[in-house]
Structure 1
Amino acid sequence: MAERIYITEDDDSIRELVTVALSAYSYEVESFVSAEDCLAATEKQVPDIFLFDIMLPGMDGVQAVKILRENEQTKNTPILMLTAKSAEIDKVFGLENGADDYLTKPFGIMELAARIKALLRRSGRSTSDSASDKITAGGITVNTSLREVSRDGRPIELTLKEYELLLYLLKNRARVVSREELLTKVWGIDFVGETRTLDMHIGTLRKKLSDDAENAHLIKTVRGVGYRFIGE
C-alpha cells in the first residue's frame, strides 16, 4: 500500500506542483489550503507523513504541529516543514515545536522526495524501499522508487528525460536499442521534432554519468542502429 502524505500549503502553484510530483512517486497525496482543513481530515484518517508550510491563513503551521504532537494518534507521525523563511531562528523554532525536518523554499522535487523517504524510513513507515527498486550496472545505480541516480554512491542530477532515457537503456542493456524505439518510448509515440534531440540528450547523459573517459562511454553508439548500455 502506498504511503499517504498530507500537504498543507496556501500557495496554489507550489501545492499543485508538489502534489503532482509526489503522486508520480506513487504516494497517495491529499492537499489542503489551511491547517484547520488538514487537522479535520486527520481526525478521519492519519497520514504517514505531514508537510506543512509555516505561513498559512488562520492557524500557522507551527501551531498545527504542536496540536499534532499533543494528539496520541499523531504524536509520532513524521512532519516536514516547508517555508520561505531561511533564518536560523525560524528553523530552530519549527524543530523545537515538534517538526522532524525543515526544507526552505525554493527546493528541488528530488530533494523533497529524498527527505520524505528518509523520514518515512526512520519512522518505520516506508513500504517501497526494497532491492527491486534499484537497478545497478557499471557503477551506476538508479533508485526507481525515489527517481534518484548515483555513481559509486555519489548523486547525479538528471533532467526528467535524461532519467527516463537512462532507465530505459539500463532495463534493456542486454540488447541494442534503436533510435526509433527510444524516441517512441521516452519522448512518446506522437513526438514531432528533430532526431538530434536524442543525440543531444545522450551527450549530456554521458557527461553526467562520469567525469572520466572510460565511464563516459557506458552508453555505446551502434552506428546506423542506436545505443546500448554496456556496463555490467
Structure 2
Amino acid sequence: MTNRILIVEDEESIRGFLKINFRKNDFLVFEAGTGEEGVVKARQERPDVVLLDVMLPGMDGFAVCEVLRKEFPDMGIIMLTARGQDIDRIKGLEFGADDYVLKPFNTTELVLRTKSLLRRLGGKPGGEGNETVKCGAFRLEVYSQRVFKDEAEIMLTPKEYMLLKLFLENQNKAFTRDELLDKIWGYDFVGDTKIVDVNIRRLRSKIEDKKSTAMYIETVWGTGYRWRKEH
C-alpha cells in the first residue's frame, strides 16, 4: 500500500523540493501552503503522516497540530521548524507531534525518519481475532489499537499507545529514557530525551485518577519510568 503524506509548508520552494523527494520514495503526496488549508486537506485525504511547518501564515503549526491530533489520533505528525530553542520543540510535542526536525534539514534523513515513524504506527498484527492486553482497570485491543479504562475508551496518540503497551507488557520493569527512545522512537531517532518526558506527562494526564499523583507510571529517580505492578 502506498504511504500518503501531507506537506504543510508555506515556502513553495521547500514544499516542491520535499514533494519531489517523497514521490521518488513512492509516497502519494498532498500539499498545503497555509495552516487552514492543511486542516482541510487532512480531513479530505486522511494522510498517514503530516509534515507540518511551525511558522505558517494565519493558523500556525502548533494550532494545526492540536486540531489534527484531536481529530486523528492515529495520524503521524512531524513538525518542521527553524527554531532551535527547547521550548519550541517541547511545545510541539505537548500539542501531540510525534517528532520534530530542525531546518535546514537533510532530506534523506527526513525521508528515513518518516518511514521509521510509519513502521511504528503501522505495527498491527495480521492474525485472527483481537489480541488484548489487560492490567487492572486497563484493557488494550492490540489489533485496533484501542485503549479502555473501566470500559471507557481513552484516546491516545500513537506514541502514547506504544508507551502504555510497553509498560503493561513489562510491569514493574524500570526503563531508562534511552531505552524508551530506542523502543518507541527507534534507534535512528535524532533528538533529546525530553521527548520521552513530554509524552509520559501527556499519557499520565489521560490515565491517572489524580493529576498530581502518579498511581500507575512511577518516576524512577536517576533512571526513568516504570509501571506499578499492583495496579
TM-score, normalised to structure 1, is 0.52
Residues 19-64 of structure 1 show CA distances to partners (whole Å, capped at 9, x for unaligned) of 1111100101111101111211222220010110000001001100
Tell me which residue corresponds to 1:77. Answer: 75
State the superposition RMSD in angstroms.
Answer: 1.6
Q: Conserved in 2, the CA contact under 8 Å of 1:50 and 1:79?
A: yes
Report the Cα distance in structure 1 between the residues aligned to 2:17 and 2:34, rounded to whole angstroms.
Answer: 17
* Partner residue, 1:42: 42
Distance 1:110 1:24 in 2: 11
Which residue, 103, 106, 118 being the options, matches 1:105?
103
Query: In the alignment, which residue of structure 2 is the partner of 1:53?
Result: 53
User: 2:3, 2:89 → 1: CA distance?
Assistant: 26
Amino acid aligned to 1:121: R
Q: Which SS does the other structure have where 2:29 is aligned?
A: strand
1:121 matched to 2:119: yes
Gaps of 5+ in 2: 125-187, 189-231
Q: Distance in 2 between matches of 1:97 and 1:119?
A: 17
Counterpart Cα distance in 2 of 1:119 and 1:32: 21
2:29 is the alignment partner of 1:29: yes
Q: 1:29, 1:105 → 2: CA distance? A: 20
Q: Give the 5 Å matches for 1:1-232.
A: 1-71=1-71, 74-124=72-122
Amino acid at match of 1:67: V
Contact 1:48 1:120 (C-alpha < 8 Å) held by counterparts: yes
Q: How far apart, in 2, do the equivalents of 1:21 and 1:81 lie?
A: 17
- CA distance in 1 between counterparts of 2:98 and 2:42 reads 18
**Structure 1 counterpart SS, 2:62:** helix
Which amino acid in 1 is paired with 2:100?
A: Y
Distance 1:115 1:21 in 2: 13
What is the distance in 2 between the residues matched to 1:123 and 1:115? 12
Report the secondary structure of 1:5's partner residue: strand
Quote the Cα distance in structure 2 between the aligned partners of 1:4 and 1:77. 11
C-alpha contact 2:32 2:41 (8 A) present in aligned 1: no
Distance across 1 between alignment mates of 2:113 and 2:11: 21
- Who wins on radius of gyration, i.e. which is larger? 1
CA distance in 2 between partners of 1:124 and 1:88 (Å): 29
Q: For the residues of structure 1 that align with 2:37 and 2:28, how far apart are their CA atoms? A: 17
Partner SS, residue 76 of structure 1: coil
What percentage of aligned pairs have identical amino acids?
Answer: 41
Q: Residues 23 and 39 from structure 1, CA distance in 2 versus in 1: closer, same or farther, beyond 3 angstroms? A: same
**AA partner of residue 82 (structure 2):** A
What is the CA-CA distance between 1:75 and the residue it aligns to?
A: 1.4
Could you list the structure 1 runs, at least 4 aligned residues long, displaced by more than 6 angstroms after superposition.
none
CA deviation after TM superposition for structure 1 residue 125, in Å: 6.9
- In the alignment, the residues of structure 1 paired with residue 16 and residue 123 of structure 2 have an alpha-carbon distance, to the nearest angstrom, of 24
> Is the 1:48–1:125 contact (alpha carbons within 8 Å) kept by the matching residues of 2?
no
Which sections of structure 1, spanning at least 5 residues, go unmatched?
Answer: 127-154, 156-232
How many residues align structurally? 125
Supply the AA of the counterpart residue of 2:35: A
The two structures have a TM-score, normalised by structure 2, of 0.52
